[in-house]
Amino acid sequence: MVKIYYDADANLEYLKGKKIAVLGYGSQGHAQAQSLRDSGLDVVVGLRRGSPSWAKAEADGLEVAAVAEACAKADVIQVLLPDEIQGRVYATEIAPHLTEGKALMFSHGFNIHFGQIVPPRHVDVFLVAPKSPGHLVRRMYVEGKGVPGLVAVHQDYTGKAKDIALAYAKGIGCTRAGVFETTFKEETETDLFGEQAVLCGGVSELIKAGFDTLVEAGYAPEMAYFECLHELKLIVDLIYEGGLSRMRYSVSNTAEYGDYMVGPRIINRQTREEMKRVLAEIQNGTFARNWMLENQVNGPQFNAIRKTEQQHPVEKVGAQLRQMMPWLKK
C-alpha cells in the first residue's frame, strides 16, 4: 500500500533557518519559489544574470542571484531548470557548492535516474514532484488548496532527507492534497509515459486527428475547434472532479452510448500495443538517450517540429476564437 503524507505529517521547522535556492523561474520555479516564500521560508532564486526570468523574479519581490552564488549560500538546492540542461549546469555551477550536509532536490527524477547527474555521497538527494503544471501549483496554493505530489529519497546522508522533503512539499501546498511516497525510477518512468502517451502526446494527436477529420469532410473549422478542443476542458473538468462515471453521468445517454461503442475503435489493440513499446523505450533508456543526443546538436528536430505544430490550422482558428473570450487570456 502506497504511503501518503498530509499536512499533519510534515513540519516546516525542518526548513526554518535554512536557505532554499530555487534554480529556475519558469513553470515550476515561479510557483514553488513564491509559495515557499509565502509559507515563511527563506528563498533565493538562482538564474542567469540579465535573463527574462531574472526580471520577473525580482518584480515578484524575490531575492535573485546567479546560479553558482545561490548554490553557495543555500542549504537546500531545488533544480527547476529544463531537464535537458540540468547535467551541464550541475557540473559547472552546482556541484562545486555541494558541501557536506546540503540537500540537492528535483521535481523530476530524469537526470538522477538516467545518470546525467551523480551527486557526491555527502549530500541528501530527494525529489518533491507536484503532479500538476506549475501555474496550477501556484493557483491552488493561493486559493488555500493544493495539488497532489510525489516524494522520493535517493540518498539520505543526514538522516533527515524525508523530513526536509515533506517540509518542502508542505511549503508549496502539496501536503494539503496528499504526497505519495515513490522512487526516482517510478516517478521518472510514469511521468514520461503519462506525458507522452496520454497527457501531451496522446491528447494533442487526438485533438488534431478529430479536427482534421471534420475539416477535411467540409465542416467549418470553428465547429471542429469547439467540438475537438474547446469542449475538451469541460469534459476533463468533470472527469477530474468525479472520474469517468461523473462525466458519463453528466453527458447525454447518446454521448455515453457513443463513448462505449466508438472509444475502443479509436484507442484500439494496436494503440495499446504501441503504448507498451513506448513504455519499454522509456524503461530501457532509448527515449532519454534520444532526447540527450537531440540536445547535443541544439535540437534541430525538436525545433522544426515545434514550428510546424504551431502552424496547425487548429492553432490558427483557436487563436481567433479565443480573442472573443478575453477571460481566457491570463
Ligand X SMILES: CC[C@](O)(C(C)=O)C(=O)O
Ligand Y SMILES: NC(=O)C1=CN([C@@H]2O[C@H](COP(=O)(O)OP(=O)(O)OC[C@H]3O[C@@H](n4cnc5c(N)ncnc54)[C@H](OP(=O)(O)O)[C@@H]3O)[C@@H](O)[C@H]2O)C=CC1
Residue 252 annotated as binding site:
yes
Q: In the window 80-109, what residues touch ligand X (CB under 6 A)?
A: none
Rounded CA separation 44/50 (Å):
16
> Taking CB under 5 A as the criterion, which residues in 182-201 touch Mg ion?
191, 195
CA distances (Å), origin 171, targets 7, 32, 35, 145, 177: 10, 8, 6, 12, 13
Q: Of these partners, Mg ion, ligand Y, ligand X, none, which one is at the site of residue 11 (CB under 5 to 8 Å by kind)?
A: none
Smallest gap, in angstroms, from Cβ of residue 27 to ligand X? 7
For the chain, report the end-to-end CA distance as a whole number of angstroms.
Answer: 40
Q: Which stretch binds ligand X (CB under 6 A): 8-16, 66-74, 194-202, 308-316?
A: 194-202
Which amino acid is residue 24, in one-letter code?
G
Site string for ligand X, 116-145 (x = CB under 6 A): -----------------x------------
Give the whole-angstrom CA distance, residue 202 versus residue 194.
Answer: 9
Q: Which three cell numbers stand for residue 292?
A: 540527450
User: H or E segment at 70?
Assistant: helix 67-73
To the nearest whole angstrom, how small is the minimum distance from the Cβ of residue 187 to Mg ion?
9
User: Strand, coil or helix: what is 96?
Assistant: helix
| Residue 39: C-alpha distances to residues 34, 166, 309 (Å) | 9, 13, 39
Contacted entry of ligand X, Mg ion, ligand Y, none for residue 26, CB cut-off 5 to 8 Å set by kind: ligand Y
Does the active-site annotation cover 154?
Answer: no
The reply, when asked if residue 143 is annotated as ligand binding, is no
Q: Which residues bind ligand Y (CB under 6 A)?
A: 24-29, 47-48, 51-53, 67, 80-83, 85, 89, 107-108, 129-130, 133-134
Cell numbers 509515459 label which residue? Answer: 193
Report the residue from 191, 211, 224, 225 that binds ligand X according to the rule CB under 6 A.
191
Please give the residue ranges that form the binding site for ligand X (CB under 6 A).
133, 191, 195, 199-200
Active site residues per annotation: 108
